[in-house]
Amino acid sequence: MEVIEAQKERWFNLEEERVLEKTGANLKTGLTTPEAEARKKKFGANVIPKRRRKTPIELFLQQFNQPLVYILLIASVITAFLNEWVDSSVIFGVTLVNAIVGYLQESKALKAIEALAKAVASDATVLRDGKKKRIPASELTIGDVVYLQSGDKVPADLRLVQVRELQIDESALTGESVPVAKQTKPIEADAVLADRSNMAYSSMLVTYGTGVGVVVAIGGETEIGKINQMIAEADELETPLTKSIARFSKVLLYVILALAATTFLVGVIRGNEWVEMFMAAVALAVGAIPEGLPAALTITLAIGVAKMAARNAIIRKLPAVETLGSASVICSDKTGTLTQNQMTVQEIFAGGKRYAVTGAGYEPKGEFERNGQPVEVGRNKALVETLKCGTLCNDSNLVSIEGQRRIEGDPTEGALLVAALKAGFERETLLAETPRIDAIPFESERQYMATLHESQSLGGNVAYLKGSVERVLEKCDKRYGETGESLPIDADEIRREANDMAKNGLRVLAFACKLFPTTQRALSHQDVAQGLVFLGLQAMIDPPRPEAIDAIAKCHDAGIDVKMITGDHELTAKAIAERIGIVKNAETASVVNGKTLATMSDDELRQVVKTTSVFARVAPEDKLKLVKAIQQNGDIVAMTGDGVNDAPSLRQANIGIAMGVAGTDVAKETADMILTDDNFATIEAAVEEGRGVYDNLVKFIAWTLPTNFGEGLIVLIAVVAGLTLPILPVQILWINMTTAILLGLMLAFEPKEPDIMKRPPRPANEPILTRELVIRIVIVGAILCAGALWAFEWALLNGRSNEEARTIAVNVFVFGEMAYLFNCRSMRYSMFRLGIFTNPLLWLGVFLMTFLQVLYVYVPAMNVAFHSAPISAADWGVALLPGIVIYVVIGLKKYAQYGWRAAS
């Protein structure tokens, strides 16, 4: 007995005898208990291995390991050093809230492997010591003989040795849209996962029939176990936003520390007291730190999350909101995302004529047309009999659940029921008129199903048969005519019609019948081996979602490449891709299948993904390879998926998108975003929202940094020039915290700009601080600094006290920011082009900030806390003037760069 040392064999390629020999299995007695125990010690338990996870404390502390958070913590310490406990608490509170939110989001993301472990079946029927036993699936081992029946979850990877009409739903593993009919013969060694019909894979559901299989892989060596390993090994990439913020934060941290140190050293060299210079350095650091940025980042992303939820997209990880806006490639599954996941009959050939059937999905709404004109079904008796045959030779049911039509049974049979209903034929009525007597269930080896019925109208019994075109044609010697007459059959004509339908990606079934005397009460294969009358063909497909067609067109307009990656057949994938606009011509479009992918080198694959948009019959590892290859070309990848097989590629993608309705728990737990309607159009809508979120983040950064630059610059100039500080650290904190909350955050509510989906995707390596943005920051910061210095010196020259002069300088910054806020509503358009009142919350912020600033100037308690003082009307005029200058200068800059239409 040759018991294998490893579970790496190509079991699907071996004859049954070799499988039994290599595994040491015995179909008559099964394993003995001692032998099973010995093998369990050797091969381990049939469970998905668990990997060490970060502890909750490690996860929480990790949230503080970011440069921007370092800056915030420094700001909190500095303000505490200045005895500004309220400000220190607020800054630290923002940091703490950010850490808590990040911890909660990330802790959810690590549940994917746990969900996989739970997916393994809990019990199995096994042959041990010559007896059938029900044991925990975890106790199965190599060589066990397992029994399967309808409703079972496959407990391990099995090589099937006996089947009776066995069908297994493998959609979660292979993406195959219909249950797979199983058989026991060996398969080619290079067959892809979806084509290994003699295997039953762990955690897949048996939908029909019975079978016996030998356990050939358990636990981590099963296909689902390998996926678990791929999930663990897949790189969880940083988002473009987190990369940009990290780079920006590091630069900002070094610049702030360098300027603060320079300020301190220059002051000491000039002979100033070191304590005084230390406070000046602290003032510069506090001024340069954008305390409101992390809060603005979190809140803007959270607003994006809420907007996406309203459009059926649930975000599990905040940065994913912005990542969608950066996506340059969307890799989508076909079934249920680009299509409706409802098989639909679209063409029928009967009585020598071809008909189109309108309508889509399981709602029985539609017409029968010929040459674009509606026809009356009853005029063609062959058409009537073809529809009746499809309804009576059928084991599925069309039911209504919560107002939605659903199929109980095979989707293909469901499509036949709906087609008949469109012609007015209800299954219950037909069964009452022609009761079923007997049936031959579908078997993959024979490729047909047949049923026997009583028929008073025909004066005897009738057998209806449906199956593959070739298998049905070989049994027929006549065909049913349009008026019901029996005519000679032209098999070549029927094959031409079937092939023409198949070229369009349609799945074609043939239908036939045979009359029997009333004494015929049973049906055998021999009874339907010959002498049948051909009735017609019905061709069906899972139709594309109409909204997906428009969404793909919008994606292309936005410079986003859409790729279809499916487990379905090449012809079907190509036909759907043409219908929805992924490819222009199905005949000339290239489709790469799983077999071809397996032979490609990494360099070849990187080139192929640049030019190919359709990938068919792919395995889980193929999806992962494809995503990595696209990323290596510098693209930001969004990947959709619903099955266990999609989890590794969902994790590897820059943003993983799981299906909320049809998706498995594993896919949902791994993904960054979940679609509650499983609709590709929702992805396009989410991309649009993501771009809007990033736009608003850039607007906030463009608005807040000039203030920090101006505040730092004014402190540096004052120290170098030996001047009195125009603004104090506590006043800088007042400016930064109040304006960030009441003014800057209002930009998060700015509506999306009209051309947002006409722009190309943002380059993955584009920094937040682009050249244009830096120029604007310098211009506005310089005007704020110069305006505040001028106003401060003007006030002192005109006899104002230090407190009054500083109050005027503070107002220069506040109202300068307020004026600049209207420039920042768009980096290109003016507020008049956008609509003055399209963001009412911005006006509310302006009103509240103005009210607070009046309190700052005139309320005695505020004067004491912030060293401010009441000022005159003339002083207000001086304070407001720089803001007007900023608005005009930036408006002119927009005009010079984009023209009058954009800037006006």
Catalytic residue ranges: 333
Helix/strand/coil (H/E/C) assignment for every residue in 760-816:
CCCCCCCCCCCHHHHHHHHHHHHHHHHHHHHHHHHHHHCCCCHHHHHHHHHHHHHHH
In eight-state DSSP terms, residue 52 is P
DSSP bridge pairs for 564: 332, 614
- What's the N-to-C CA distance of the chain in angstroms? 86
Angle, helices 771-797/873-898, rounded to nearest 10 degrees: 160
Both tokens assigned to 222: 């099963």
- Residue 158 pairs in a beta bridge with 200, 215
CA-to-CA distance for 267 and 265, rounded, in angstroms? 5
Give the three-state DSSP class for 669.
Answer: helix
Q: Is the dihedral of CA 744, 745, 746, 749 positive or negative?
A: positive
The Cα–Cα gap between 578 and 129 comes to 57
Q: CA 579, 584, 588, 592: dihedral to nearest 10 degrees? A: -70
Closest among 665, 670, 643 to 655, alpha carbons compared: 670
Q: What is the 3-state secondary structure (H, E, C) of 367-419?
A: CEEECCEECCHHHCHHHHHHHHHHHHCCCCEEEEECCEEEEECCHHHHHHHHH
Contact by Cβ (8 Å): 540, 506: yes
3-state secondary structure of 259: helix
Cα separation values, 852 from 732, 811, 862, Å: 15, 11, 10
Q: Are 651 and 658 a contacting pair, CB within 8 Å?
A: no
Return d(Cα 798, Cα 810) in angstroms, integer: 18
Whose CA is closest to 197, among 172, 225, 167? 167
Tokens in use for 636?
């930001």
Give the Cα separation of 680 and 182 in Å (integer).
Answer: 32
Sign of the C-alpha dihedral computed for residues 311, 313, 318 and 324 taken in this order = negative
User: Rg (Cα) of the chain, in Å, rounded?
Assistant: 36
What burial class does residue 436 get, using C-beta atoms within 10 Å of its C-beta: 0-12 exposed, 13-18 middle, 19+ buried?
middle
> Which of 364, 343, 330, 345 has the alpha carbon at shortest distance from 177?
343
Distance CA 35, CA 33 (A): 5
**CB proximity list for 113: less than 8 A, separation 6 or greater:** 48, 50, 51, 228, 231, 232
Question: What are 558's two structure tokens?
Answer: 């936005």
Amino acid (1-letter code) at residue 257: L
CA gap 376, 602 in Å, rounded: 57
Q: Single out the residue of 170, 145, 169, 172 nearest to residue 159, CA to CA.
A: 145
User: Minimal CA–CA distance to 813: which of 873, 882, 891?
Assistant: 882
459 — alpha (psi -120 to 50), left (phi > 0) or beta?
left
3-class DSSP assignment, residue 722? coil
